[in-house]
């Protein structure tokens, strides 16, 4: 096989003009030289202290523990998992019904429920929020529970969530995938 392309067409005048406009502000990328990659030289004070037999004070950023890893991003429950739940091949391990609760008590109940479910080894839970009185806007809990599930204090518990199947509550319920407790302890 040859390395030459089989067919090369010339750019039209309009394509050539467009290409000129697009590439007008492009600048070549220059890799750093080895001198730029080296660490800055040690301060003169440290050398003079070493000569005098004294140890320089440790650098503050070396003494700090490494920053904690950011929490894993939430993902929506994938189609395959949703189908497994819907068909009964993946069990729903826990269920919480928030009907009739005020926001503050619903939030406390949700947090406690998810932490207990995680401790019990649950993989999938259903949280029933209800559809609300007005169909267009939906209920308050239906709007705020997804925000609560995304909160930083629940990232170590919640992997992701998505709308439940019709027989589990449909628009008025959410499937919540729960992170395994052992996984969080290993980090």
CATH code, domain carrying 105 = 3.30.1370.110
Q: Is the pLDDT of residue 76 over 60?
A: yes
In DSSP terms, 128 is beta-bridged to: 97, 173
Q: Is residue 177 part of a domain?
A: yes
Domain assignment of residue 118, yes or no: yes
- Nearest by Cα to 176 from 54, 94, 70, 64: 94
Residue 152 lies in a domain: yes
Answer whether 169's CB lies under 8 Å from 139's CB. no
Distance separating alpha carbons of residues 177 and 122, to the nearest angstrom = 9
| Confidence (pLDDT) at 84 | 85
Lowest mean pLDDT among 34-43, 78-87, 115-124: 34-43
Residue 15 has pLDDT above 70, yes or no: yes
CB 157 within 8 A of CB 185: no
> Is 83 a domain residue?
yes
**Residue 18 included in any domain:** no
Q: Is the pLDDT of residue 73 over 70?
A: no
Residue 157 lies in a domain: yes
65: left (phi over 0), alpha (psi -120 to 50) or beta: beta
63-74 average pLDDT score: 58
Say if 156 falls within a structural domain: yes
11 vs 19, 24, 83, 99, CA distance in Å? 9, 17, 49, 65
| Residue 67: inside a domain | no
Whole-prediction pTM value? 0.56
Distance between CA atoms of residues 111 and 95, nearest Å: 13
Q: Is 94 left (phi over 0), alpha (psi -120 to 50) or beta?
A: beta
As a whole number of angstroms, the distance between CA 96 and CA 163 comes to 15
Question: What's the pLDDT score for residue 107?
Answer: 93
Number of domains in the chain: 1
Structural domain including 164 reads: 75-186
């Amino acid at each position: 096989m040859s390395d030459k392309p089989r067919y090369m067409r010339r750019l039209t005048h309009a394509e050539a003009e467009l290409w000129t406009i697009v590439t007008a502000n492009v600048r070549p990328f220059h890799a750093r030289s080895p001198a730029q990659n080296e660490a800055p030289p040690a301060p003169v004070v440290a050398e003079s202290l070493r000569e005098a037999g004294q140890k320089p004070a440790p650098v503050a950023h070396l003494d700090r523990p490494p920053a904690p890893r950011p929490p894993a991003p939430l993902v929506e429950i994938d189609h395959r998992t949703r189908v497994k739940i819907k068909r009964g091949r993946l069990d729903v391990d826990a269920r919480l019904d928030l009907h009739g609760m005020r926001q503050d008590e619903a939030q406390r109940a949700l947090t406690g429920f998810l932490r207990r479910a995680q401790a019990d080894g649950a993989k999938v839970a259903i949280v029933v929020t209800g559809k609300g009185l007005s169909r267009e806007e939906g209920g308050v809990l239906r709007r705020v529970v997804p925000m609560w599930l995304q909160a930083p204090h629940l990232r170590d518990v919640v992997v992701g969530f998505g709308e439940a199947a019709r027989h589990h509550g449909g628009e008025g319920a959410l499937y919540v995938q729960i992170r395994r407790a052992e996984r969080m302890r290993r980090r």
